Amino acid sequence: MSTPEQRIVPTDLRNEMSRSYLEYAMSVIVGRALPDARDGLKPVHRRILYAMHELGLTADRPFRKCARVVGEVLGKYHPHGDSAVYDALVRMAQHFSMRAPLIDGHGNFGSVDNDPPAAMRYTECRLQALSSEALLQDIESETVDFIDNFDGSQQEPIVLPARVPQLLLNGSAGIAVGMATNIPPHNLGELIDVVIALIHNPDISLPELMQHIPGPDFPTGGQILGTSGIREAYSTGRGSITMRGVAAIETIEQRGRPDREAIIITELPYQTNKAALIERIAEMVNERRLEGIADIRDESDREGMRIVIELRRDAYPRVVLNNLYKQTPLQNNFGVNMLALVNGEPQVLSLKQLLETFLDFRVETITRRTRYELRKAEERDHILQGYLIALENMDAVIYLIRHAADTPTAKQELMASYELTELQADAILQMQLRRLTALEADKIEQEHRELQLKIADLRDILARRERILEIIETELMALRERHANPRRTAIERDEGDLTDISLIANEQVVILVTEQGYIKRMPVDTFEAQSRATRGKSGTKMKDDDGIQHFITCCTHDHVLFFSDRGVAYSLRAYQIPEGSRVSRGVPIVQMLPVPREEKITSVLGIREFTDDDYLVMLTQGGFIKKTALSAFSNIRANGLIAISLAENDLLRWVRLGRDTDSILIASRQGMSIHFKADDDQLRPLGRPTRGVRAMALRHEDELISMDILPSQVVEAVAQAADQGDDDEDSETSETGDSPWVLVITAAGLGKRVPVSKFRLQNRAGMGLKAIKFRKGGDHLVAVLVVHEGDELMLITNRGIIIRQASDDISIQSRQATGVRLQRLDDDDAIAAVALVPPAAEEALAAPEEEGAADS
C-alpha cells in the first residue's frame, strides 16, 4: 500500500510527451541556440563578455589566460561543459569568423584551414575596445534587467545594452529544435548609416535602406553575385546569397621551362575551409572530373591568402575557372534565415523589422539610463540642498550638534529644527570640517546649480523622443568615427549564373551528318593540314550503304541550326552534339532532335549570334529562293519551327547566312552558275511560312547542287569589273591579292579558284554562266564556295575520308578551265561535301571567351 508521498498520478502519455518535448524545445531555443534580436547575442556569448567585463579585462588592460575566463563563466553563469564556453570564446576572437571580433586573442586561436585553437591554458584574451564601448557601456546604469544565475548566488544581465545592431554586425548561426538561424555579417559603418537613416525617416523603404547597406560584408572578403538574393533576404527574412572567391588568371614565369597560365585565388567565400577546398580540387583532378589542372599549391603567408592552380598548356583558363566555381566551394550559397528572439519568442525578421527592434531597444536603453542618471542627480542635489541649509545656519547647527547627547538625538533635532530629511541629516552629521571653508561652500553652491541644469536637461530628454534619437545618433557617429572600416566584400551586379556554355571551351569543331542520320562532333585539330592531291584521313566509320550528307565547321559555343527537307528548323548548341573519334559512327540524330522518320536533314548551319542585320537565305530543290530575318529563329521550340512553305513535291535543300548588301551564287549539277544581288530589288524579305521566288532557270535533266553567299565588298568588286568591261575570256588569269575567289569543286576531286569578277551580276531566274569544264564524263559539280586569302577547307568523301588543305594551294583559273586535283580518290569514291575551317582560334575564340567570362 502506497503512502501519500508515493502516490501514482495517472497521466496520459501523449500529453506528457508533448508537454515535456515543448518545454525542452523552448529551453533550447531561448537558452542556447537563438540570439536575442536586441543585442544579437546568445546566452553563452553574453555571459562570456559580461564575465570579462566584471574581471576588468578591457582593451587597455593586460591579457588574462582564457582558462581563467572560462572558469569564471562556468562557475558563475553557464552550467555547461568548458569546451562549449571555450569554443564560443575562440570564435569571438577569430578575424575570419567575425566581421568585428569582440575579443582580442593572444596565441593560437585557429585558422581558416580549420586548424583547432591551442588549449585554453595556453591562450590569453581581453575585450576589444568595440565590445566595451558598443555592448557593455552603461551596463551599471540600470539600462537592462538582471536575473539570478543558475544557483541564485549571482546576478546576470538578460541582455546587453548594445549601441550597434550586433546581430547584423557579426551575424549568427544556430540550430534549435525545429528551427534554425543563419544571419550574415555586415559592415559597421554601413549599419550605423542605415540606423541613422531609419531615425530620420521611420517610413523608409527597402530600396532606400539598401542605398546605405547594399548587402552583407563577409570577414573573408570575396564577392556576392547579384542583388536579387540580398533583396529577397532583406524583404522577407529568408533568401539565398551567392558567394564567390576572388581569383585571377596570371602568367607564371618558370626558370628553364616555358611560362604557364595559372589561377591565383586570393579570397574565399565566407566559412570556406581553405585546406578542404584544396583537397577537394585535388581529388576532382585525380578523378578526372576537373580537366586542365597540372598542379595546385598553397602559398599563403602572413601577408595574405594565395592559392596557385597551375594549368596545362592546352587548357582554357576561363573554362577551368568556371568549372572551379561550378563544382567546388570556391562558389557557394549563403542561406539567409534571419530568425531571432523578440520578447522571448522566435520570429523571422526582415531588415527593417530587425533595425526597428534594435532602435526601439536603444530608445528604451537611453530612457532607462536617463532615469537612472536623473534619480542619481536628484539624490545628490537633495544632499546638496541639506548642505546649503547647514551652511546658512552654520553656527546654530554646530551648537546643536555639540550640545546633543548622542548622534540619534542630534539627527532628530536637525530634522525638527530645519525641516531636513533623514538623508540630509545623516549627510550633515557626516560632513567633514574642511567642507565648512568658504571655498568649499562655493563649490557646493556651484555643484547645486549644475545639477539643477542637468536635472532639467534629463527631464527634457525623457519628455521628448526626438532628444533620445539625437543622443542615439550622436553615439553612433562617435562609434563610426572610431571603429568603422572599409567594406571587404564586393557586390557584383551580375547574378553570375554558370550555364553549361560557360564550362565548355569554345573550340573549333567539325560536325558530320551522314545520309542515314548519324551525327558527331570532332575537334578541327584532329585533321592537320595536308598537301594538295593527297589521300586524307578517315573521318568516320560508316556502313557500306551510308554516305556523308552534311559537313560543317563551327565553334562549340555556336548555335547549330538544322533544316529538314519539309522546311522545319531545329536547334542545338554545338557542344550538345556528342564528340566522337575519327573512326566512330556517331549517334543517331533522332536521339538529339525530334525529327520524324519521313523527314531528312538537308542543311546544317552554324550561327554565332542572332543579329537583326542578318538573314537566312533558303533555296529549295525546285529552285525557289527566299530570305528571312535570322532573328525569327532565335527561339526555336523543342519540336521545331516552320522555316519555309513548300510547294507539293518540293524540298528545302540549302540554307545560308547573308545580309542585304551581299550577293548570292548558285550552281547546278551540270556546272552552270548564276550570281545576283540579295537586296530587296532582287530578293525582298519574307516571313517564315512563305514560299519564295524563282532562283535559276535549269536545262533539261539539270538540278541545283550548291549555293553560297558573297559578302558586300565582293559585290562591289564585281560591279566595278563589269563597269570596266571585263569579259569572259577562257584564258587563265594570274589575278592575285587578298580579294575573294570562288572555289569550284567537282565530285571527281578536281577544283580551282576563279576570280569573282568572272561571275558577273545577273538578274534572278536566268540561265547563268558556265562555272567549270568537266575533264571526264560522268563528273558533276559538288560545291561552289567563296574563299579568302589564308582560308583552309576540309573535303570529305562519300566513304568518310577527310582532307584538310589551304585554299592558297589551289591554282587560280578561268571559268572554262577544268581545275587541278584536290584529293586522290578511290575508284568507287567521290567528293561528298566541302566546308571552310572557322577563323584561327585566337580570332574566333577571343570574343566568345570574353562573353563566357562575363556570363560567369
Predicted confidence (pLDDT) per residue in 152-211, tens digit: 999 999 999 999 999 999 999 988 777 889 999 999 999 999 999 999 999 999 999 999
Cα–Cα distance between 359 and 355 in angstroms, integer?
6
Which is nearest to 748 in space by CA: 797, 817, 804, 812? Answer: 797
d(CA 52, CA 57): 5
The answer to whether residue 258 scores a pLDDT higher than 90 is no
CA angle, residues 492, 498, 499, in degrees to nearest 5: 140
Q: Mean pLDDT in the chain?
A: 87
Sign of the CA dihedral running 221, 223, 229, 231: positive
Residue pair 695/764 in contact by the 8 Å Cβ criterion:
yes
> Quick one: pLDDT at residue 192?
96
Q: 462 to each of 143, 162, 364, how far by Cα in Å? A: 14, 20, 11
Q: Which residues contact 819 (CB under 8 A, 6 or more apart)?
A: 744, 745, 746, 750, 751, 752, 772, 775, 813
Residues written for the chain: 856
Summarize pLDDT for 690-719 with one digit per residue, the tens: 988 999 988 888 889 889 888 877 666 666
Sign for the CA dihedral angle at 356, 357, 360, 362 comes to negative
Percent of the chain with pLDDT over 70: 89
Residue 582 has pLDDT above 80, yes or no: no
Joined grid coordinates for residue 829: 569514291
pLDDT at 17 exceeding the cut of 90: no
At residue 812, the 3 state secondary structure works out as strand
Contacts of 801 (CB under 8 A, 6+ apart): 535, 536, 537, 538, 539, 823, 825, 829
pLDDT band for 826, please (50, 70, 90 cuts).
confident
Q: Which residues contact 93 (CB under 8 A, 6 or more apart)?
A: 101, 102, 103, 104, 105, 109, 125
CATH superfamily ID and name for 41-161: Topoisomerase II, domain 5 (3.90.199.10)
Per-residue pLDDT band at 4 (split at 50, 70, 90): low
Q: Encode pLDDT of 98-111 as tens digits.
A: 999 999 999 999 99
Spatial contact of 690 and 618, defined as CB atoms under 8 Å apart? no
Q: Which stretches does DSSP call E strand in 595-703? A: 601-607, 615-620, 624-629, 641-642, 652-658, 663-668, 672-677, 693-694
The pLDDT of residue 852: 34
Percent of the chain's residues with pLDDT above 90 = 50
Under the banding of pLDDT at 50, 70 and 90, the label for residue 518 is confident
Helices of type H across 55-187 = 66-76, 82-91, 129-134, 166-169
Residue among 123, 118, 149 nearest 50 (CA): 149
Angle, vertex CA 295, rays to CA 289 and CA 301, nearest 5: 120
pLDDT at position 53: 96
Q: Look at 454-458, 762-766, 849-853 and tell me which has the smallest mean pLDDT.
A: 849-853
Q: How far apart (Å, rounded) are the C-alpha atoms in residues 832 and 749?
A: 10
The contacts of residue 710 (CB under 8 Å, 6+ apart) are 662, 663, 664, 665, 675, 718, 740, 756, 786
Each domain of the chain, given as residue ranges in start order, spans: 41-161, 246-329, 361-483, 500-853
CA–CA dist 163, 141 (Å, integer): 14
Region 417-444: mean pLDDT is 85
pLDDT band at 841 (very low <50, low <70, confident <90, very high): very low
707 within 8 A of 619, measured Cβ to Cβ: yes
What is the C-alpha to C-alpha distance for residues 555 and 510, in angstroms, rounded to an integer? Answer: 8
Would you say residue 848 has pLDDT above 60?
no
- Predicted pLDDT at 649: 86
To which H or E segment does residue 482 belong?
helix 465-483
The distance of Cα 637 from the centroid of its chain, to the nearest Å, equals 29
What one-character-per-residue DSSP string does 423-452 give?
HHHHHHHH--GGGGSHHHHHHHHHHHHHHH
Pairwise CA distance, residues 803 & 796, whole Å: 7
Closest listed residue to residue 569, CA positions, set 520, 613, 519, 635: 635
Q: 344: pLDDT confidence band, cut at 50, 70 and 90?
A: confident
Q: For the segment 460-511, what is each residue's pLDDT rounded down to a tens digit?
A: 999 999 999 999 999 999 999 999 999 999 998 876 666 666 667 788 888 8
Helix, strand, coil share of the chain (percent; to 5) = 35, 25, 40
Residue 120 scores a pLDDT above 70? yes
Is pLDDT of 418 > 70? yes
The per-residue pLDDT for 729 is: 47
Between CA 760 and CA 765, with CA 762 as vertex, the angle to 5 degrees is 140
Give the pLDDT score at 440: 80
Q: Is the pLDDT of residue 24 over 80?
A: no
pLDDT (0 to 100) of residue 212: 95
CA–CA dist 845, 756 (Å, integer): 29
Q: Is 155 in a helix, a strand, or coil?
A: strand
Q: Is the pLDDT of residue 318 over 90?
A: no
Query: What is the CB-side half-sphere exposure of residue 167 using CA atoms within 13 A?
Result: 33
178/544: higher pLDDT: 178
Q: Which of 436, 451, 437 is nearest to 383 (CA)?
A: 451
Task: Identify the pLDDT of residue 51.
Answer: 96
Question: Burial code of 386-408, b = ≥16 C-beta within 10 A, e = fewer?
Answer: bbebbbeeeeebeebbeebeeee
pLDDT of residue 89: 97
Are 506 and 557 in contact by the 8 Å Cβ rule? The answer is yes
What is the Cα–Cα distance from 528 to 524, expressed in whole angstroms?
8
Q: How high is the pLDDT of residue 844? A: 36
Q: What are phi and psi of 192, to 5 degrees?
A: -65, -40
- Beta strand ranges found along 670-713 (DSSP E): 672-677, 693-694, 704-710
Measured distance CA(536)–CA(14) in Å, rounded = 83
Cα distances from 435 to residues 337, 399, 438, 443, in angstroms, run 62, 17, 8, 9
Of 250, 215, 191, 218, residue with least CA distance to 98: 218
Tens-place pLDDT, residues 351-366: 999 999 999 999 999 9
How would residue 59 be classed by pLDDT, with cut points 50, 70 and 90?
A: very high
Task: Give the tens place of pLDDT for each residue, 586-631.
Answer: 888 888 888 888 888 889 998 988 888 899 999 998 889 999 999 9
372's CB contacts (< 8 A; 6+ apart) are: 141, 142, 143
Average pLDDT over every residue of 726-752: 69
Are 80 and 28 within 8 A, CB to CB? no
- Whose grid coordinates read 561535301? 833
Using pLDDT thresholds of 50, 70 and 90, give the confidence band for residue 723. low
- φ/ψ region of 794 (left if φ > 0, alpha if ψ in -120 to 50, else beta) reads beta
> Which residues on adjacent β-strands are paired with residue 795?
803, 834
Whether 377 and 458 have beta carbons less than 8 Å apart is answered as yes
pLDDT at 849: 35
Pairing assessment for the beta strands 146-148 and 155-157 based on DSSP bridges: antiparallel
CATH dotted code for 361-483: 1.10.268.10
Per-residue pLDDT tens over the stretch 605-617: 989 888 888 999 9
pTM of the model: 0.70
The answer to whether the beta carbons of residues 90 and 108 sit under 8 Å apart is no
The Cα–Cα gap between 78 and 74 comes to: 5
Contact 740, 788 (CB under 8 A): yes
Q: How far apart are CA 214 and CA 732, in angstroms?
A: 72
Q: Would residue 122 show up in a list of annotated catalytic residues for this protein? A: yes
Taking residues 6-19, what's their average pLDDT? 78
Nearest alpha-carbon partner for 272 in 222, 214, 198: 222
* Cell triple for 408: 540619534
Fold of 246-329: Gyrase A; domain 2 (3.30.1360)
CA distances from 705 to 590, 702, 766 (A): 26, 9, 16
pLDDT of the residue at 247 = 93
Fold (CATH) for 500-853: Neuraminidase (2.120.10)
| Count of other CB atoms within 10 angstroms of residue 626 | 24
Whole-angstrom CA distances from 7 to 16, 60, 827 are 17, 61, 109
* Active-site option among 21, 24, 122, 399: 122
- Once rounded to an integer, what is the mean pLDDT over residues 543-569? 83
Distance of CA 288 to CAs 281, 283, 307, 317, 328, Å? 10, 9, 20, 17, 14
